């Protein structure tokens, strides 16, 4: 091994740390004379929790436009700058193209079907406002599962118009903190209507008027005084809001995603060089992959820990956080396997699952706040930290076994990477992960039954989500018993493990799409298409896996 091959992993490690570190510590200042950096740290109340205005601005713009910044003729406008324009200069903000519309029938209804773009302004939609509202009312009378794409699209557009209206009229969020004259958060409109001399409302009014009138020094002084007042009266909320702004700017999950992609490419090249009989390069590239995965894992861990601190909850509270946690634990499994098996496949699968689940989470979080208030039935940190976390670990392990099985089939059919020993090692990995998945899925399901008994008065009710959890346990047991009974050998085990991906995806996402049962609080219908694509891909892989051995380039399977 030459000197460059020895140094490559360390060079990559340093570059990865620099990349991740600069995003974690870099101050993302708004390029403006106005002190919008202080303004966006101001605590407000929305969605049942206290958060900074920076989060309100980002989530609102993401909801309307699908982006956290706004492209203008002069460049890029940060979310917080767009937000303060909405609440102080609505006559200007209504011309900003922030409403994303993709459905052609909705565009035609609004008279915008001849425009070669997907984002439009409030002013452009004004004339069609009554028709949009009428169609939305009609669509709302149809059951959610029976709505067609047009009805769903017009409901989304109407909701976005209502959000924009609430923001511009200062009805949402609750911006007036309980500093001196009230015991609870209030909207600016309600506070001024109740008492136009309210000192808390007047303090914020001075900030907004200074911005509207272009008084830079007055705005900076007013916003600093108001932020100091909140910090004095509500130190805990102010501290969390400041930290959340840093978290929003750092976007650790985006950084981790990029590192996982690079790690996957390096690991794939490492396997390729193995086939090309270049063991020195293979060892160097696989070691580099591992270092990058470790950095990405640390960054992802920081992101998860930050969410735990900000929410005051265990790491899994909704579908978004479950996706992040599934990928995070999958990386742990992959690194553990690579440490003991030395094949590099554990790391490659870890990077695939890490990146894939973060992409799923990103799309799940595109419509609003991912740290929303918990529903009453979920308001238990003990059970969230036991049942939910353990069940999610079971999801992660079952997925990881399925992805190892995928690697066995794809590399076995299309490459000559595997000899008999490596093939056996990969099957052993898959088998071991299935054993672990069986235990965690079973324990998590039992804990869920105990929680259900406490919350709903019954241990088991054949709820869709409960059935999904039971299916995971039963399927993993079927694989193990078939293996122990000699009914399947190596190829049979991996083919059945891939079907475990389908069952786990159904339990994780599919049951939520039904919108029925006591677990329907996680309802979503936005991923039906992608779930079907995933299921079809897994069935195709299973079909490849059962092809006769004469079609396999690696002659090791039985």
Is 451 contained in some domain? yes
User: Model's pTM, two decimal places?
Assistant: 0.89
- Give the contacts of 490 (CB within 8 A, at least 6 positions apart): 408, 423, 424, 427, 557, 558
Q: 41 in helix, strand or coil?
A: coil
Dist. CA 56–CA 83, nearest whole Å: 8
User: What is the percent of the chain where pLDDT is above 70?
Assistant: 92
Q: How far is CA 451 from CA 322, 381, 448, 488, 503, in A?
A: 19, 12, 5, 37, 23
Is 220 contained in some domain? no
> Which residue in this structure is represented by tokens 């049979």?
492
**Residue 550's domain spans which residues?**
374-558
Q: 524 in helix, strand or coil?
A: coil
Quickly list DSSP for 241-269.
HHHHHHHHHH-HHHHHHHHHHHHHHHHHH
Total of domains in the chain: 1
Contact criterion met (CB below 8 Å) for 199 and 177: no
Contact criterion met (CB below 8 Å) for 472 and 394: yes
Q: Give pLDDT, residue 514.
A: 65
Is 209 contained in some domain? no
| Closest to 394 (Cα-Cα) out of 448, 454, 329 | 329
Is 437 contained in some domain? yes
Q: Give pLDDT, residue 165.
A: 93
Q: If residue 86 lies in a helix (H) or strand (E), which one and from where to where? A: helix 79-88
Residues of the chain below pLDDT 50: 557-558
Please give the DSSP secondary-structure letter assigned to residue 72.
Answer: E
Dist. CA 346–CA 430, nearest whole Å: 10
Q: Give pLDDT, residue 296.
A: 96
pLDDT tens track for 515-557: 665 665 555 555 677 888 999 999 999 999 998 888 888 776 4
Q: 343 in helix, strand or coil?
A: coil
Is 512 contained in some domain? yes
Q: If residue 121 lies in a helix (H) or strand (E), which one and from where to where? A: strand 119-121
| Closest to 519 (Cα-Cα) out of 377, 384, 385, 323 | 377
Q: If residue 45 lies in a helix (H) or strand (E), which one and from where to where? A: strand 43-46
Dist. CA 256–CA 131, nearest whole Å: 44
Is 258 contained in some domain? no
Q: Which two tokens stand for residue 87?
A: 């609440």
- Give the contacts of 401 (CB within 8 A, at least 6 positions apart): 430, 433, 434, 437, 497, 500
Is 497 contained in some domain? yes
> Which residue in this structure is represented by tokens 């009230």?
182
Q: Give pLDDT, residue 374.
A: 60
Is 409 contained in some domain? yes
Q: 523 in helix, strand or coil?
A: coil
Q: Count the helices and strands in the chain (H runs, E runs).
A: 24, 6
């Amino acid at each position: 091994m030459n000197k460059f091959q020895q140094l490559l992993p360390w060079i990559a490690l340093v570059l990865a740390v620099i990349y991740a570190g600069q995003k974690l510590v870099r101050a993302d200042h708004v390029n403006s004379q106005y002190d919008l950096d202080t303004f966006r740290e101001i605590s407000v109340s929305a969605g049942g929790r206290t958060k900074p205005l920076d989060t309100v601005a980002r989530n609102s713009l993401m909801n309307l436009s699908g982006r956290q910044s706004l492209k203008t003729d002069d460049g890029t406008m940060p979310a917080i700058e767009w937000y303060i324009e909405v609440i102080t200069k609505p006559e200007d903000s209504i011309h900003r193209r922030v409403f994303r519309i993709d459905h052609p029938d909705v565009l035609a209804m609004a008279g915008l079907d001849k425009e070669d773009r997907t984002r439009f302004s409030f002013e452009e939609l004004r004339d069609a406002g009554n028709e949009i509202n009428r169609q939305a009312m009609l669509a709302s009378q149809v059951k959610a599962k029976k709505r067609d794409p047009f009805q769903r699209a017009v409901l989304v557009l109407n909701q976005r118009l209502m959000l924009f209206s609430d923001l511009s009229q200062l009805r949402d969020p609750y911006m007036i903190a309980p500093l001196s004259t009230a015991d609870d958060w209030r909207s600016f409109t309600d506070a001024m209507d109740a008492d136009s001399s309210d000192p808390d409302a007047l303090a914020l009014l001075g900030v907004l008027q200074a911005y509207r009138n272009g008084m830079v020094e007055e705005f900076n002084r007013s916003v600093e005084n108001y932020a100091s007042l909140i910090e004095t009266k509500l130190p805990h909320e102010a501290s969390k809001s400041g930290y959340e702004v840093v978290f929003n700017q750092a976007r650790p999950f985006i950084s981790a995603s990029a590192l996982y992609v690079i790690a996957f490419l390096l690991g794939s090249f490492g396997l390729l060089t193995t086939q090309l009989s270049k063991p020195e390069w293979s060892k160097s590239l696989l070691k580099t992959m591992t270092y990058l995965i470790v950095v990405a894992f640390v960054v992802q861990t920081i992101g998860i820990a930050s969410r735990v601190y900000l929410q005051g909850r265990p790491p899994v509270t909704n579908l978004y956080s479950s996706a992040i946690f599934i990928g995070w634990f999958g990386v742990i499994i992959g690194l553990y396997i690579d440490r003991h098996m030395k094949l590099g496949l554990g790391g490659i699968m870890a990077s695939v699952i890490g990146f894939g689940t973060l992409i799923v989470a990103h799309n799940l979080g595109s419509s609003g706040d991912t740290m929303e208030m918990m529903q009453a039935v979920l308001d238990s940190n003990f059970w969230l930290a036991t049942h939910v976390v353990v069940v999610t670990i079971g999801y992660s392990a079952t997925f990881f076994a399925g992805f190892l099985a995928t690697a066995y089939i794809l590399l076995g059919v299309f490459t000559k990477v595997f000899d008999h020993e490596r093939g056996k090692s990969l099957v052993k990995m898959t088998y071991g992960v299935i054993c672990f998945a069986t235990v965690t899925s079973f324990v998590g399901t039992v804990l869920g039954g105990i929680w259900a008994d406490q919350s709903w008065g019954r241990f088991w009710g054949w709820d869709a989500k409960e059935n999904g959890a039971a299916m995971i346990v039963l399927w993993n047991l079927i694989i193990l018993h078939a293996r122990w009974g000699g009914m399947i050998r190596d190829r049979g085990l991996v083919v059945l493990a891939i079907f475990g991906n389908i069952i786990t995806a159904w339990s994780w996402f599919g049951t939520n799409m039904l919108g029925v049962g006591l677990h329907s609080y996680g309802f979503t219908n936005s991923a039906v298409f992608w779930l079907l694509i995933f299921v079809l891909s897994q069935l195709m892989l299973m079909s490849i896996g059962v092809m006769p051995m004469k079609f396999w380039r690696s002659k090791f399977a039985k």
